[in-house]
Structure 1
Amino acid sequence: MEVRVAHVRKEFDRFTALRDVSLDIRSGELIALLGPSGSGKTTLLRLIAGLERPTKGAIFFGDEDASLKTVQERNVGFVFQHYALFRHMTVAENIGFGLKVRRHNRPPDAEIRRRASELLDLVQLTGLEKRYPAQLSGGQRQRVALARALAIEPRVLLLDEPFGALDAQVRRELRRWLREIHDKTGHTTVFVTHDQEEALELADRVVVMSQGRIEQVGTADDVYDTPNSPFVFSFIGESSMLPVKVEKGEVWIADRAIGIAAPDTPDGEAVLYFRPHDIELLEGSGGCIAGTVAASRRVAGTRHVELEVGGDRQRVELEIPTSHPASEKTRIAFRPKKWKLFPAAG
């Protein structure tokens, strides 16, 4: 099922949660809505679900305008962060609930039991059908919640921070498992997360959101390697930035050219963005960026250093080998191997 969000605006009293948002979701695609708190990602999910109505614009399921249809009429499956399982029902009863309460086309009880058993096998919980939610781990409960959402054979599957209540190890296991389930079932799936690692690992495409707008839509490689705005560069992955000046196709810090050519960038103030790990260390200080170590700490297999650069002691973070003899007041020269320039704000 294709889903199209067309020029949607959503207002709550005097607060605007979404501002002219448009998005095409392909049939069978697994897409992530990624952004910080308040970016509008959960509001967008609720609009697709039918839990909210757009102030302006429309939501299409295929060629059909679904904007005024209810959740039931849209036939969407929803998985929440906190499971929302019925405590007084067994696992099998929870999974079959959506089918059991159907007013139209309700399957016979035997078919509901067969479907629940089939889904228990799919989510790898066979043998637990008679247990109650309180007897399950957090990861098992979330698997039951997903099986319940799949039981109604939804046109679209929606997940709101599905792993947010779980510890890191269980989250990693369930991410891989969810991708496998998606590949087997082929549902059009949209999930909300603020966890960039989760989005980059799971999704076919990532929708990066900020302040009620979509900043960028693309694959994990697109948004990480070719971010189209300062927000996306700083939000996706680790980043460092330095205020610079572009003159005649060269990048300068204060009165020093740093060996970076920018022939297609207009002269003027700019900001240089780069990844802390994506640098080369250099000897000397000519034609590069140089600074003094202000702090150094070991992080797993690398050393992270904070470097004070320029007369205004602008700080950037670098990842260097643990064997590097970096200590406070050590001078380090480097040049980014990959970088991007954005015009200075204002």
Structure 2
Amino acid sequence: MDLRIKNVRKDFDLTPALHDVSLDIASGELVALVGPSGSGKTTLLRLIAGLEQPNAGTVYFGQDDASRLSVQDRQVGFVFQHYALFKHMTVLQNVGFGLTVRPRGKRPTAREINERARSLIELVQLAGFEDRYPSQLSGGQRQRVALARAMAIEPKVLLLDEPFGALDAQVRKDLRRWLRELHDVTGHTTVFVTHDQEEAMELADRVVVMSRGRIEQVGAPDAIYDTPASAFVHRFIGESVELPVYIEGGMIRLDGIAIPLSAADEPDGPAALVFRPYDVAIDEVDRATYPGIAATVVASRWHGRGRRLELAVGAGGHSMEIDLPPDVAPPVDSTLSVWPTRWTLYRPSGASLSHPTPAAAASMVSPIQQMAVAQ
């Protein structure tokens, strides 16, 4: 089932939650909605489900306008973070519940409901648990039951709201791998909300990054990570280093000192230099000369399989953290010259604030240039 959201707006009282959001999702696609709290991702999911109604815009299921249909008429499967299983029902009864409450004319026979529920329990790898109650299951097992129950009604669209948010890290990792395999078998059109960037990047065919009720970028996980469309996406998806710089005569200056990165043909003015912590080259230099970005090592610690350095940068009280191979360990208080090897400049927009503070200006950016230089 294709899913299309067209120019949707949603307000709660006088507070806008979604601003003119449009999104097309292909049949059988698994799409992740990510963003910080208040970005509108759960509101968008609830609008698709019919749990909220838009103030403007349309939600299409295929070619049909579903905007004013009830939850039941939309035929969606919904999985919540906290399972929402019926405690007094067995696993088998929970999975078959959505079929047992259908209107009499659309309700399968008791035998058909039993067979479908047992088939789904086997599909989610819980065969033998049919007669257990939710209290007798682990968190991961309960979420599998919730997913089987959502699929029992043969949904047009499957919606998952932070489905693994209440589980510990290792269970989350196991379940998301299992969910991807299950999706490939069943082929449901699936939309899920998560605050876990790694979860979204691993699971989804496409990722939708949201902020302040708007879609910042939509794309395949690799494209979102490698070519972020804005400084917000660059900061939110993966780790990043951000330094306030000034462009002057095609040169990039940090605290008035030119650094060896070119901004040819860019107009003069403030910008943000953004790069990944591992996209750097370093050289130990004398304190009096620094052809790259001057930085002093404040702290050094193990990080994953490498070493992370905390650096004090320039004369403006800036700081950054970079990642190096485990065998590279400049001592604390040593001075380094740091070169970003892959970086992006983002220009402040200045659209909504006449006198933005540095913090506000950093959040009001659009991309102007992306470059890579050889190490």
Q: In structure 1, which of residues 260, 280, 291 is the aligned counterpart of residue 295 of structure 2?
A: 291
What displacement does 1:59 show? 0.6
Q: Tell me, in whole angstroms, the C-alpha distance in 1 between the residues paired with 2:283 and 2:268.
A: 27
Give, as a single letter, the amino acid of the residue that structure 2 aligns with 1:55: N
What displacement does 1:16 show? 1.1
In structure 2, the residue matched to 1:3 is 3
What displacement does 1:283 show? 4.4
Q: Tell me, in whole angstroms, the C-alpha distance in 1 between the residues paired with 2:281 and 2:84.
A: 50
In structure 2, the residue matched to 1:229 is 230
What displacement does 1:293 show? 1.4
Q: Tell me, in whole angstroms, the C-alpha distance in 1 between the residues paired with 2:110 and 2:265.
A: 68
Q: Deviations over 1:239-273 (max 9, x none)?
A: 10111122333322234332212235332211100
Contact persistence 1:159–1:191 (CA under 8 A): yes
Q: Tell me, in whole angstroms, the C-alpha distance in 2 between the residues paired with 1:323 and 1:290.
A: 22
In structure 1, the residue matched to 2:106 is 105
In structure 1, the residue matched to 2:13 is 13
In structure 1, the residue matched to 2:121 is 120
Give, as a single letter, the amino acid of the residue that structure 2 aligns with 1:289: I
In structure 2, the residue matched to 1:302 is 306
In structure 2, the residue matched to 1:266 is 267
In structure 2, the residue matched to 1:256 is 257
Ranges of 4+ aligned residues in structure 1 off by more than 4 Å = none
Q: In structure 1, which of residues 339, 342, 345 is the aligned counterpart of residue 346 of structure 2?
A: 342
Residue pairs, 1:1-346, within 5 angstroms:
1-103=1-103, 104-284=105-285, 286-344=290-348, 346=350
- TM-score by length of structure 1 reads 0.97
- Over the matched positions of the two proteins, sequence identity in percent amounts to 62
What displacement does 1:108 show? 0.7
What displacement does 1:340 show? 0.5
What displacement does 1:322 show? 2.9
Q: Tell me, in whole angstroms, the C-alpha distance in 1 between the residues paired with 2:61 and 2:291.
A: 55
Contact persistence 1:82–1:165 (CA under 8 A): yes
What displacement does 1:89 show? 0.7
Contact persistence 1:271–1:343 (CA under 8 A): yes
Q: Tell me, in whole angstroms, the C-alpha distance in 1 between the residues paired with 2:263 and 2:326.
A: 32
Q: Deviations over 1:201-225 (max 9, x none)?
A: 1000000011111111111111111
Q: Once structures 1 and 2 are overlaid, which stretch shifts more, 279-288 or 164-173?
A: 279-288
Give, as a single letter, the amino acid of the residue that structure 1 aligns with 2:309: V
Contact persistence 1:245–1:270 (CA under 8 A): yes
- Which blocks of at least 5 consecutive residues in structure 2 are unaligned? 351-375
What displacement does 1:313 show? 2.1
Contact persistence 1:256–1:287 (CA under 8 A): no
Give, as a single letter, the amino acid of the residue that structure 2 aligns with 1:328: V
Q: Tell me, in whole angstroms, the C-alpha distance in 2 between the residues paired with 1:198 and 1:164.
A: 11
Contact persistence 1:3–1:61 (CA under 8 A): yes
What displacement does 1:8 show? 0.8
Computed over aligned residues only, the root mean square deviation of the Cα atoms, in angstroms, reads 1.3
What displacement does 1:295 show? 2.5
Give, as a single letter, the amino acid of the residue that structure 2 aligns with 1:42: T
Contact persistence 2:20–2:214 (CA under 8 A): yes
What displacement does 1:345 show? 5.3
How many residue pairs end up in the alignment? 346
What displacement does 1:72 show? 0.7
Give, as a single letter, the amino acid of the residue that structure 1 aligns with 2:270: E
Q: Tell me, in whole angstroms, the C-alpha distance in 1 between the residues paired with 2:193 and 2:305.
A: 31
Q: Deviations over 1:70-96 (max 9, x none)?
A: 011000000000000011111011001
Give, as a single letter, the amino acid of the residue that structure 2 aligns with 1:156: V
- Which blocks of at least 5 consecutive residues in structure 1 are unaligned? none
